[in-house]
Amino acid sequence: MYFITLSMIFHAEPIEFVRQPGLGAPVWRGRAADGEDLLRFAISVHRHQGRLAALWGEDRRQQGAGYRLHCVFALDEGWPWLSLDLAAEGDRCPVYPDLSGIFPAANRMQRATRDLVGIATDGSDQRPWLRHGAWPADWYPLRHDAVHEVGMGAGFANFPSDYEFVKVGGEGAHEIPVGPIHAGIIEPGHFRFSVVGERVLRLEQRLGYQHKGVEKLLIGADLAHGARLVGRVSGDSTCAYAWAYADAVEAACRVEPPPRALHLRALMLERERVANHLGDLGALGNDAAFAFGLTQFMRLKEDWLRLNQQLFGHRFMMDRIVPGGVVMDVDAAALAAMIEQCGVVRGEVRKLRALYDAHAGLQDRFATTGAIDTALARELSLSGMAARASGILLDGRAHRQGYTPPAPYAQLGVRPVTDERGDVAARVAVRFDEIYESLRLLREIALGLPGGEIRVEVAPLGDASGLGAIEGWRGEVLVGVQFAADGRLARVHPHDPSWQAWPALEHAVMKDIVPDFPLINKSFNLSYSGADL
């Protein structure tokens, strides 16, 4: 048993939490007696500088119950996972307390939960988030009785939907709508700028155009199909999602993967991190009119991905991390090739960093642009690279007071990178330093890879549940898993750190000019697909 009384004081009896088994991130399960219980806990988390990590809903009427709200918070000690049962009320939407006044990041998660499951808050923003006129307002895709004679969701009239954007008035103020269809080959998103001249007064986003129905497809899936789907939630984070899913399944099924498998997972995750930072550093140079940086970093990224293909049979290492371990091993020659490449890339990146740091044009564009200070980053529950670039020492791979990272990172001694400036320059600097650290970790893993098996069998346990949390290259990737009585997946919720970072981008562009938006946007490089499942 574990009581959150080390860092919290309640006005009522403390909620009882039970530590989730397994080798993954420290997660504690608890049940809120009612909405007031949930509110008190959320307020206490906020007072102790905790975060809201994820929020989703579940229809449990087939089990003879009602609905269930899941809230995952983040504290220094780990992740408290609090559930609240809600009674079914016929066709009415069950309600629960609005958390957005405590954690602004809850706003979009709550709206998405209403759109998908049909449970709603007792106040605050009620605008749709994922429903874009593609299905009726009283039809909820993740309810068990959400069927349609033509097929799931098919046959509904797909009408354009009005959206009540916040209006900014005053002399000289006007709006610039951008998207959802863009000139480049990027994913769809709508950005509504309120400006005076070129100065941005406000940015409001409308996302959800990439809604793919993955969570519906996961209902009733077996373990293997679930792994394939979750690994494709956001293609640039396939290793992070696959590992978080595997952790959740392993915790639910009380299975521990072999040490060699855990080290191979870390090896793939760090290669994923390096690949994305290389690509983004090139794109950031290009957005500031330094095309040489783009060509050089993309050359390095391409070489990096080609070695992935050679070693793992896939450029992005999809379907290589599975519940119970990994599906393929690497030999001594492969490890030697990896170590050699790490040395080459380290030298090349150091030369390119010297160019970036000395380039007056780049530094003029990067410095003081798109700033997020530490207080705002905490208020928005920001995680990952963006939080560390705002001065928050937060990395799920690294030791901190009261927190021991999951295997194998506990033994690797990760040195987290931070920068207090919070601007584009800080996010660039953090990316450079994280590449160096990942290259060091890759060498350590390759040289110290333990022997043994790479996978154990996983037998599903009926009505069991688990949560996985992995430090992806963007930030905190979480996957919650619930099994049905027959051992198939009843509910899977993948959560991308972009849910918290997209609202941070709205704040980052305020008082900057419209032409700086692409640069600020790229400095975060958020997922449309991972955030809008």
pTM of the model: 0.95
Q: Is the pLDDT of residue 381 over 80?
A: yes
Would you give the DSSP letter of residue 405? P
Q: Is the pLDDT of residue 183 over 80?
A: no
Specify the pLDDT at position 89: 81
Each residue's pLDDT tens digit, 224-233: 999 999 999 9
pLDDT category of residue 112 using cuts at 50, 70 and 90:
very high
One CATH from 1.10.10.10, 1.10.645.10, 2.40.30.20, 3.40.30.10 for 256-456: 1.10.645.10
**DSSP H/E element including 75:** none
When pLDDT is averaged across residues 319-333 and rounded to a whole number, the result is 97
Amino acid at 169: G
CA angle 370, 375, 381 (to 5 degrees): 85
Amino acid at 67: Y
pLDDT category of residue 13 using cuts at 50, 70 and 90:
low
Specify the pLDDT at position 196: 93
Of 42-51, 125-134, 156-165, the poorest mean pLDDT is in: 156-165
When pLDDT is averaged across residues 164-179 and rounded to a whole number, the result is 89
Each residue's pLDDT tens digit, 281-304: 999 999 999 999 999 999 999 999
One CATH from 1.20.920, 1.10.150, 1.10.3470, 3.30.460 for 1-141: 3.30.460
Strand arrangement of the beta sheet that strand 67-74 belongs to: 2-3, 16-19, 27-32, 79-86, 67-74, 51-59
Each residue's pLDDT tens digit, 333-363: 999 999 999 999 999 999 999 999 999 999 9
Tokens of 293: 């940086």
First to last CA, the chain: 34
Q: Are 22 and 11 spatial neighbours (Cβ–Cβ below 8 Å)?
A: no
Tokens of 470: 């992995």
Q: Are 241 and 468 spatial neighbours (Cβ–Cβ below 8 Å)?
A: no
DSSP string covering 349-399: HHHHHHHHHH-HHHHHHHTTTT---HHHHHHTT--HHHHHTTT----TTS-
Q: Are 353 and 432 spatial neighbours (Cβ–Cβ below 8 Å)?
A: yes
Would you give the DSSP letter of residue 262? H
CA nearest 203: which of 512, 533, 527, 524?
A: 512
Each residue's pLDDT tens digit, 79-90: 999 999 999 987
Q: What is the C-alpha separation between 447 and 450, in angstroms, rounded?
A: 9
Q: Is the pLDDT of residue 92 over 90?
A: no
Q: Are 61 and 144 spatial neighbours (Cβ–Cβ below 8 Å)?
A: yes
Asked if the domains at 1-141 and 256-456 fall in one CATH topology, the answer is no
Specify the pLDDT at position 9: 39
When pLDDT is averaged across residues 386-397 and rounded to a whole number, the result is 96
Specify the pLDDT at position 1: 35
DSSP string covering 296-318: HHHHHHHHHHHHHHHHHSSTT-T
Between residues 156 and 318, the one the model is more confident about: 318
Rg of the chain, C-alpha, whole Å: 23
Specify the pLDDT at position 179: 86
Q: What is the C-alpha separation between 337 and 339, in angstroms, rounded?
A: 6
Specify the pLDDT at position 159: 75
Domain map of the chain by residue range?
1-141, 169-212+496-533, 256-456
Q: Is the pLDDT of residue 486 over 90?
A: yes
Q: How many residues does the chain have?
A: 533
Percent of the chain beyond pLDDT 70?
A: 96
